[in-house]
Amino acid sequence: MKRRTHVSKQAEQALVDPRFTRYIVNSADEKGQGIIDGITSLRDLFADTNETPNGPDAPLTFEIGFGMGGSLIEMAKADPSRNFVGIEVHEPGIGKCAVMAADEGLTNIKILNGDAIRLMQQLPENHIDRIQLYFPDPWQKKRHYKRRFVSPERMKIVTRVLKTGGWFHAATDWEHYAFWMLDVLDNFEGLSNSAGKGNFTPRPDFRPMTKFEKRGLDRGHGVWDLIYTKDS
């Protein structure tokens, strides 16, 4: 969902400054909607091995809705041999993520503005090694449940672009949504729960803990991780 909030001067500059085009792949229309027409491969974004020395065949992680980008940047730093692509509709987050990537001198990350579902419909089958969805909007009201990302219809699109043996990793701090996702994913043909049917995955070390997550845990709030692998 498109959100409009204050954009810092630094993040706003990153949205228009040519120096950040090595990170921000696409432009936006007059309404700020990312133009994704013609993007039919995420691996091709890493084809210029002068700027992206891992090359297009490196393991590829795709993060849907990276927020302000802090955890995505930490993951890219921690695993430099893996390529990362993040997609977001929140322009302040897009700009901020690009600034952080530049500050760290990262060569293994690309940022997209746009609709993740529509983009994945344009990608080849068996294209991505890992897809991650961290702390998505839980759409708490019952009449809005249909907007939740994890649904059988959307998971068909996700699973199609995952490689065999690839991961779909979700995390949420909303208990109702956690059990909603567990039910949808446990009963989705083509995916297997890495922790066993009916179980959540212990928080993996590779997923950075955000300050908001830590604050919630300090207050006694729960966080639930789910990792599913694509069957052969």
SS3 64: strand
The model scores a pTM over 0.95: no
Q: Give, in order, the Cα–Cα distances in Å from 74 to each of 37, 84, 193, 208.
A: 29, 11, 26, 7
Lowest-confidence range among 6-10, 27-31, 171-175?
6-10
Q: Do residues 147 and 187 touch, judged by C-beta distance below 8 A?
A: no
pLDDT in tens, 149-164: 999 999 999 999 999 9
Q: What is the pLDDT averaged over residues 134-163?
A: 94
Indicate the helix (H) or strand (E) that contains 111.
strand 109-113
- Model pLDDT, residue 219: 84
37 as an active site residue: the answer is: no
At 118, give phi and psi (nearest 5°).
-60, -40
Please give the structure tokens belonging to residue 189. Answer: 């043909």
pLDDT at 80 over 80: yes
Quote the percentage of the chain above a pLDDT of 90. 80
What does the pLDDT average to over 175-189?
Answer: 96
Reported confidence tier of residue 2, pLDDT bands at 50, 70, 90: very low
Number of H helices, E strands in the chain: 7, 7
**Is residue 212's pLDDT more than 90?**
no
Task: Say yes or no to pLDDT of 21 above 50.
Answer: yes
* Contact indicator for 25, 161 with CB cutoff of 8 Å: no
216 vs 205: which has the higher pLDDT: 205
The catalytic position among 137, 173, 218, 225 is 137
Check residues 7 and 100 and name the one with the higher pLDDT: 100
The residues facing 131 across adjacent strands are: 62, 168
Structure tokens at 211: 């300050």
